[in-house]
Amino acid sequence: MITYLLFLGTLAGIYAILALGLVVSWGQAGMVNLGLAGFFGLGAYASAILSGAGVPIGLAWCLATLLSAAAGIAFCLLTRTLRGDYLAIVTLGFAEGLRLVETNERWLTGGSDGISGIRAPLKSLLPDAFPSLYLAVTWAVVAVAVVLLARLLRSPFGRALRAVRDDEQVAAVAGKSVMRLKCQAFGIGAALFGIAGAVYAHFTSYIAPDNFGVQITIYIFLAATAGGYSRLVGAVAGALAVMTILEASRLAATAIPGLDAVEIAALREFAIAVALILIIQWRPDGMFRMTNQRAGTRPVARPVAADVHS
């Protein structure tokens, strides 16, 4: 039971890192990134291939993060004329394209066989403590990301990002370099997706293109939406909530008598869909809703009345 919970906790941590990336690029800068699975896979493959070639795992993580960030910035420059739905479509295509590369470049990625036997830090030395250790490492990454992002988003940079999100033209008139801000936000988001991928690859020790399909994108959007897509705390809470829904539905469904396995499986899919609909219906802003800053006061997130949020 304990190992199972540690395992879920680690996965929830990885989801939280992904959701944080989404909060930066979508919640704060207004760019919908449906290609997060692509960056997630890029980080995973980069780290797995590098560590397989003998690069130390810590360095492989850093390189995977940088590669993912660079890909994000390059992607943002390529799509600089696109906004809103159009950008979302192109990001989806990017993820699908990367998945095809992962499937077909067998010399590098092993094709649809995937890469197995990815090394994990300290696993051979401390096999028993590994699950709890890795949980700690994952949540340390989450904590560092939250602290750094919180500082960043409170800074003038964060305010400028939100200005771009709310109205690009107004931000440009106010003298902000919209293009640059968007690329920075997209790059930070991509970096987070990349490191989540690296953490994931060394955790499960096996990756294949199937891991990086649309399903994970949906889960992360569900997490960000459930938690509150513009808030860091929302990303973390949302990731925990999604993992709880996913796994509690498994355990809860078996408690219903008279259902066979096929019906339970269908019911679980249904439960997850219903959860998403209910969240959007009742709490479209998620558990932690967007807060407005007041001019002239310290830019601290304060609880505000429900009717002033944007």
Partner 1 sequence: MAKTTRREFLIHAAGAAAVGAAGFGPMRARAQDSGPIKIGMIIPLTGTTSQYGTTMSIAAKLAVNDINGAGGVGGRQIEVVIEDDRSNPEAAVRAARKLIDIDKVVAIGGSYASAVTSAIAPLCWESRTVLFTASGADSITRTPHQGYIFRTSPTVTLQGTRVGQFAREIGAKSFFFLGPQTPFAQSYIDIISTIFKEGGGTGGGLIYEEKRASYRTEVDQALRAKPDVVILGGYVPDTGVVLKDLFRAGYAGGRIGFSFGVNQVLAQAIPAEVGEGAYSLVPSASEESTAYKTLIAKMNLPSLNTYSCQMYDHVVLAALALANEPSAPINGTTLRDNVRAISQNRSGQQVFDAAAALKLVAAGKAVNYDGPSGPLEFAENGDVEGVYFRYEQMQKGTMALLKVA
Question: Where does this chain bind partner 1 (CB under 8 A)?
Answer: 1-4, 7-8, 11, 100, 103-104, 106, 111-114, 116-117, 127, 204-206, 208, 210-211, 213, 215-216, 244, 246-255, 260-262, 264-266, 268-269, 282-284, 306-307
Asked whether 211 and 14 are in contact (CB, 8 A), the reply is no
| CB of residue 308 to partner 1, shortest distance in Å | 12
> What's the min distance (Å) between Cβ of 262 and partner 1?
5
117 versus 258: smaller Cβ distance to partner 1? 117
Nearer to partner 1, 155 or 310 (CB): 310
User: Least separation, in Å, of the C-beta of 81 and partner 1?
Assistant: 28
Nearest to partner 1 of 186, 212 (CB atom)? 212
CB of residue 112 vs partner 1: minimum separation in angstroms? 5
Q: Considering beta carbons, is residue 84 or 284 the nearer one to partner 1?
A: 284
Q: How far apart are CA 306 and CA 310, in angstroms?
A: 10
For every residue of 279-303, DSSP letters joined together read: HHHH-TT-SS---PPPTTS------
> Among residues 79 and 103, whose Cβ is nearest to partner 1?
103
Let me know: does 276 contact 222? Beta carbons within 8 Å.
yes
Choice between 110 and 187, CB closer to partner 1: 110
Shortest CB 126 distance to partner 1, Å: 13
User: Closest approach of Cβ 54 to partner 1, in Å?
Assistant: 19
Q: How far apart are CA 264 and CA 256, in angstroms?
A: 9
- The CA-based diameter of the chain, rounded to the nearest angstrom, is 65
CB 98 within 8 A of CB 34: no
Residues 6+ apart with CB under 8 A from 144: none
Which distant-in-sequence residues (6+ apart) come within 8 Å of 168 by Cβ?
Answer: 83, 178
Distance CA 75, CA 93 (A): 12
